[in-house]
Every structure is written in structure tokens, then in C-alpha cells.
């Protein structure tokens, strides 16, 4: 049983020459378009997301998280102390980095879950399978495998075309 890499849409994109409409997945999306679509579809749990849409955002989120972790470490190094029992206590700047990490995490948790659901839809899986990520270790691994799978043309059933 073989699947096409890029499923055909049930309705044409019209006279557009650029990226597809927001209701449709953007196969081969460049990094800028993937991040833009991530924020435009902030709470959209319906529809589909291509692998490129998902993995570009995953890369951007990982880089931002890494930079914020480094910032927290650097800010925490200034004024860091060691207690009498040898425990390192970060400086007050670590609080600023920690707050920035929390803000970023809270700002992107819902749209990240929505993107996971849309990516599952593109593989013709139920969005409820995202809950498998709650299973310790193996759930995250299973979700990773599902995110790597190619598009399935039958996933078009999740599309909700709009004008």
C-alpha cells in the first residue's frame, strides 16, 4: 500500500500563486511561512499541517528554548554563590531568564498542541492520539514516530475549506 507524498486537495486553491489558504496544509513550507502559519492558526485544532509546517516550528521552538536556557544560565552566573554545604545558588538574574522561559512556554503551549493535532490529521489519525504523549517516555516516542510519518490522502476528511 503506497501513499502519495503530497495529497491532492478536494478544492483548488483558486488563482493564488503563493502559499495555499490557511485551511489547507502547506507542503514544502519555508521556515518563515511555517512560523507565520503557526501563529495565524493559533487555536485551530481542525484541518491539517504538513511535515514541513510542523518540523520548522519544532526547530524554531527548540532554538528559542535553547537561547532562553543559555540566557538564564548567563544571567544566573552573575551573583551566584555557593552555600556552606556546597550547593550552588544562582544569581538573581536567573529569575529573569526563568520568567522569560515560562512566558514563552505559556504563550506557545496551546498552539503547539493544535499543531500536533493538525499534523496527526495529515497522517489520517485522530487528534485525540496527541494524548498518547502523556504516557511517560514511550508516549513521546510514539508521538515522534507519528509526526515523522508521511501525509495520507485520506486525511483530507479533516479539511474544513473556507472562502
SS3 at position 144: helix
- Look up residue 43 and give its three cell numbers: 487555536
**Rounded mean pLDDT, 47-64:** 96
Q: Return phi, psi of residue 54, to 5°.
A: -70, -50
Q: In this model, does residue 5 exceed pLDDT 90? A: no
pLDDT the model gives residue 11: 47
- Look up residue 126 and give its three cell numbers: 485522530
pLDDT above 70 covers a percentage of the chain that reads 89
SS3 at position 18: coil
Confidence of residue 14 (pLDDT cuts 50, 70, 90): very low
Q: How far apart are CA 114 and CA 93, in angstroms?
A: 33
Confidence of residue 81 (pLDDT cuts 50, 70, 90): confident
**Rounded mean pLDDT, 54-75:** 95
pLDDT the model gives residue 12: 47
User: Residue 138 burial by CB count (10 A; 0-12/13-18/19+): exposed, middle or buried?
Assistant: exposed
Confidence of residue 17 (pLDDT cuts 50, 70, 90): low
pTM for this structure? 0.83
Helix (H), strand (E) at residue 89 = strand 88-89
Confidence of residue 16 (pLDDT cuts 50, 70, 90): low
Q: Which residues does residue 82 pair with via DSSP β-bridges, in sequence order? A: 88
Q: In this model, does residue 135 exceed pLDDT 70? A: yes
Amino acid at each position: 500500500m503506497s501513499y502519495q507524498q503530497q495529497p491532492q486537495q478536494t478544492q483548488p486553491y483558486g488563482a493564488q500563486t503563493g502559499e495555499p489558504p490557511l485551511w489547507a496544509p502547506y507542503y514544502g513550507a519555508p521556515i518563515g511561512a511555517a512560523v507565520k502559519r503557526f501563529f495565524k492558526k493559533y487555536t485551530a485544532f481542525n484541518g491539517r499541517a504538513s511535515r514541513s509546517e510542523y518540523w520548522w516550528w519544532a526547530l524554531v521552538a527548540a532554538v528559542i528554548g535553547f537561547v532562553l536556557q543559555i540566557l538564564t544560565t548567563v544571567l544566573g552566573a552573575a551573583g551566584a554563590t555557593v552555600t556552606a554545604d556546597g550547593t550552588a545558588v544562582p544569581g538573581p538574574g536567573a529569575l529573569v531568564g526563568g520568567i522569560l522561559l515560562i512566558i514563552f512556554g505559556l504563550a506557545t503551549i496551546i498552539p503547539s498542541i493544535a499543531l500536533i493535532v493538525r499534523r496527526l490529521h495529515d497522517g489520517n489519525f485522530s487528534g485525540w492520539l496527541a494524548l498518547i504523549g502523556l504516557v511517560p517516555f514511550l508516549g513521546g516516542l510514539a508521538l515522534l514516530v507519528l509526526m515523522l510519518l508521511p501525509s495520507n490522502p485520506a486525511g483530507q476528511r479533516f479539511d474544513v475549506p473556507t472562502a
